[in-house]
Structure 1
């Protein structure tokens, strides 16, 4: 009997194109013929997923599992034949949407703050220019913007 017991990721990072699931420090077990093989982070340490196609970019990466003195190596494509592993991977992919939306919101909020600050500085610069030119009408209009 083969099955994965636990596969919670250590961290999930992403950029515009890829999702990186770091599994270096997780408790991940694989049961094979009554022996429990525990994940050993000596070989594969990360799962890379293309964000647009959701395809695994490193399906041939080998992951090491140890039981006492015995070590076996399984590639990621082999692990995908286990329903429990696929279920855990689907949970990770579902959480990725939330992480991306949260990061995008934080990024948009930061951008809005920067734009507001730049607009305020621009208005103050224009007020200084209106004062230098002794343009009372422009000065009064710009004060309304503050």
Structure 2
């Protein structure tokens, strides 16, 4: 049976598309059949998570774990079936998901404000065409 004892990324990189959890020596420890194995960065050393879908992208990567001279390779596909592994990964990556949502919310608010301003200008033009002074002055105050 495999379980996670310790999981901390060495550092975290994020861009607009991905959150990358970079793993370092002794920052990731698992138990395999009651024996403790420590991560060593031989083959893969990062967990790549899509910020939009929140899914782990590099499921074919292999991670190496060592105990003494014994080295065991486990694929990401095998690791994602461990509930405690997924809990650790998503707890660490969670703050990076909200950043992209907040940016989208701010962008949406800017777009809506600009559309409202343009709509008021069109209504002002309509009030001028219809020679509706009351609507014209009311709309001018909204700008």
The alignment's TM-score, normalised by the length of structure 1, stands at 0.63
Deviations 1:30-56 (A, max 9, x none): 111121111111111111111111122
* RMSD of Structure 2 on Structure 1 (CA): 2.2
Runs of 4+ in 1 over 3 A off after TM superposition: 97-104
- Shift of the 16–55 alpha-carbon distance from structure 1 to 2, 3 Å rule, reads same
* Aligned counterpart, 1:140: none
Q: Is the 8 A contact 1:19 1:48 kept in 2?
A: yes
Contact 1:8 1:26 in 2 (8 A): no
Inter-partner Cα distance in structure 1 for 2:27 and 2:16: 29
Determine if contact 1:9/1:26 at 8 Å carries over to the other structure. Answer: no
- Work out whether 1:82 is the aligned partner of 2:82: yes
Alpha carbons of 1:42 and 1:72: their partners in 2 closer, same or farther (altered >3 Å)?
A: same
Distance in 2 between residues matched to 1:18 and 1:103, nearest whole Å: 15
Aligned to 1:57: 57
Conservation of the 8 A alpha-carbon contact between 2:40 and 2:66: yes
Cα-to-partner distance string for 1:103-146 (whole Å, 9 max, x where unaligned): 99xxxxxxxxxxxxxxxxxxxxxxxxxxxxxxxxxxxxxxxxxx
Deviations 1:10-39 (A, max 9, x none): 111111111111112452111111211111
Quote the residue 1:95 is aligned against: 95
- Displacement of 1:93: 2.1
In structure 1, runs of 5+ residues without a counterpart are 105-146
**Number of residue pairs aligned between Structure 1 and Structure 2:** 104
TM-score, normalising length from structure 2? 0.65
Work out whether residues 39 and 63 of structure 2, in 8 Å CA contact, stay in contact via their aligned partners in 1.
yes
Instruction: Look up the SS of the partner of 2:27 in the other structure.
Output: coil
